[in-house]
Structure 1
Amino acid sequence: MICIWIYLWINDNEVVESIGKIFVAVVSFVAALGFLIYGGRLFVMLRRFPIESKGRQKKLHEVGLSAFDSSASLDVLDHPILNLFYYMLTEILPSGLILYILRKLPPRRISAQYHPIR
């Protein structure tokens, strides 16, 4: 995308601008698909938690329902580069750290009181 922006800055071209829009659309679609797949997996995993666990309902609501807020806007700083840095610092970096820290989870314990929700 940076190469496309540089080329457009040097030589304004409608074809390259269309390619840039298609590129952003494809990247956004792939990101949305990834969030859908991994968010769905997280939602299913949270449903299997014991009913007694603290915060289970809150996390289920957070993961499953808060994605449908129609008043939310993703354009927070009115500039693509500033938005990139904003989301890099507030979303991508913390998510990457969590994935790195939790890359090896302890083995599952089988409890007599554990009953998954069906």
Structure 2
Amino acid sequence: MIKQARSLPTDKLKIVYISINGALYFIQVCIWIYLWIDDNTVVIFIGKIFIAVVSFMAALGFLLYGGRLFIMLKHFPIESRGRRKKLHEVGSVTAICFTCFLIRCVMGFLSAFDSDASLDVFYHPLLDLIYYLVVEVLPSALVLYILRKLPPRRISAQYHPIQ
């Protein structure tokens, strides 16, 4: 029996995705507003832990869903067109995003529990640049490079261009 990708409805998935993102952004904005009103070390600690936990959940999500997609593609027939390319794309994007968010998680926890390991190094902007290049810019550039080719446009069955 050949396993094929199924066309499952994604309407509820979109609502859940928007709701979770909205709630996380709302909590983050509330933390920022509270810190703006009253600079409290406990709230700073909670904010750092919050970002670290969100980064860990994102890393776990990429690992679970990217891994599931990779395994599903691996079970496609060997002669499937583009299988090897898609396996490489999915595996690379999953590994890059998982590693990026895991680094952010570890650095977030480290900065929350060790006051010397602050992520905001205003006195040394080169360290800030290196950190954000490694966890933000480089992974984004790699993912864009890997996914640089868009799929071909589908041409409607009723419309045929004049040759």
Normalised by the length of structure 2, the TM-score is: 0.41
- Alignment partners' CA distance in 1, 2:36 and 2:134: 27
SS at the partner of 1:32?
Answer: helix
Verify: 1:34 aligned to 2:48, yes or no: no
**Cα shift readout 1:33-78 (whole Å, capped 9, x = no counterpart):** 11111111101000011111111111111111343488x74435xx
Which sections of structure 1, spanning at least 5 residues, go unmatched? 77-118
**Structure 2 unpaired stretches of 5+:** 1-27, 101-132, 138-163
Is residue 75 from structure 1 mapped to residue 102 from structure 2 by the alignment? Answer: no
Aligned to 2:136, the other structure's residue is in SS state coil
Is 1:57–2:84 an aligned residue pair? yes
Q: Would you say how many aligned residue pairs link Structure 1 and Structure 2?
A: 75
Q: Measure, in 2, the Cα distance between the counterparts of 1:47 and 1:13.
A: 50
Q: What is the identity, as a one-letter code, of the residue corresponding to 2:60?
A: L
Q: Is 1:11 paired with 2:38?
A: yes
Report the Cα offset of residue 12 of structure 1. Answer: 1.1
Aligned residues: percent identity? 69
Counterparts of 2:75 and 2:136, CA distance in 1: 35
What is the TM-score normalised by the length of structure 1? 0.56
Q: Which amino acid letter does the alignment assign opposite residue 39 of structure 2?
A: D
Deviation at 1:31, TM superposition (A): 1.3
Q: Which amino acid aligns with 1:63?
A: V
Task: Output the aligned Cα RMSD.
Answer: 2.1
Among 71, 75, 80, the residue aligned to 1:44: 71
Q: Could you report, residue by residue, the CA deviation over 1:3-27 in whole angstroms, capped at 9, with x for unpaired residues?
A: 1011011111111011000001011
Structure-1 separation of matches of 2:83 and 2:136: 31
In structure 2, how many angstroms separate the alpha carbons of the residues matched to 1:9 and 1:49? Answer: 53
In our comparison, the structure showing a higher alpha carbon Rg is: 2
Q: Which has the higher helix share?
A: 2
